Amino acid sequence: MAAMANSVDLTFLGFGEAAQAFCDGWGATPPARLRAYDRKTDRPANAEAKRQDYVRYRIDGRDTSASAVEGADAVISVVTADQALAVARDVAPRLSKGALYLDMNSVAPETKRQGAAAIIAAGGRYVDVAVMAPVRPALLGVPLLLAGPDAEEGHRLLTSLGFGARIVGDTVGPASAIKMIRSIMIKGIEALTAECILSAYAAGVEDEVFASLDASFPGFDWRTRANYNLDRMIVHGQRRAEEMKEAAATAEHLGQTGAMAGATAGWQARIGDLQLAPPNELDAKIDVILRATRTRS
């Protein structure tokens, strides 16, 4: 892409945590002309709040994905994992020829390859992008991995926009494979934490369990880690569950069972579906989770 970043028309598909974090990183002077579409504006109960997000971030919010991507030089897709492929296929015919489609969604390599096929067939250029850490507090500093035949072009654009990115392959798939396989461990530890610690509290033996864990893993501070892991599951469990379904599909496609990733998806959904406002302290957090799960049993 020959144009400098400050002359780029950039569209966000999805305007939730990731897109807003990037906008916070740019501050009052974003290096591109920004548009966005978020499907929450399709729902009367959520529409006004999302439009207020557009206003707060000085975004040209659009009511359809088609109007959001038409004429855009680049598109950053940050939707939920279960919507990533459908969104790519939906907007592909509306993309300008040669537009960059930066797919930052946490989905399996095969899902990204299917999305790439739709984008490329329509004349767009697809880049497999993996977001390798929470977007907050990192903002633009969050590490990004890129792959695909147009990864070099994607790297130039993202660098000009202030991101840190690294190319890991010239075909679609390697970036998402790294992300998905890593997630088996990272989100799996969260799920194991939930099952272990909730069980410990339910049995009234949490102090002994924590003491034993800390003795086995000196310096890990299991109470602090459990508090953080449960917080992430409460707030992001529904989204992470969809991601872990894709991680399970990745493992299965590679000849593994995907059983651990599948079980992790179940735990992420179990906690996320409670839709709780997480207290700050671990004991209070455990209490509200146990009470909520008993109520639903």
Final residue in a domain of this structure, among 109, 138, 171: 171
Beta strands across the sheet bearing 143-147: 60-61, 33-37, 9-13, 74-77, 100-103, 125-131, 143-147, 164-169
Which pLDDT score, from 0 to 100, does residue 295 have?
80
Q: Which residues of the chain have pLDDT under 50?
A: 1-4
Which pLDDT score, from 0 to 100, does residue 42 have?
94
> 130 lies in which domain range?
5-171
Residues 152, 91, single domain; the answer is yes
Residues 158, 181, single domain; the answer is no
End-to-end CA distance of the chain, in Å?
Answer: 54
Residues 75, 163, single domain; the answer is yes
pLDDT tens column, 114-135:
999 999 999 999 999 999 999 9
Residues 32, 76, single domain; the answer is yes
- State the Cα–Cα distance between residues 258 and 244, nearest whole angstrom: 9
pLDDT tens column, 180-235:
999 999 999 999 999 999 999 999 999 999 999 999 999 999 999 999 999 999 99
Which pLDDT score, from 0 to 100, does residue 296 have?
74
Which pLDDT score, from 0 to 100, does residue 218 have?
95
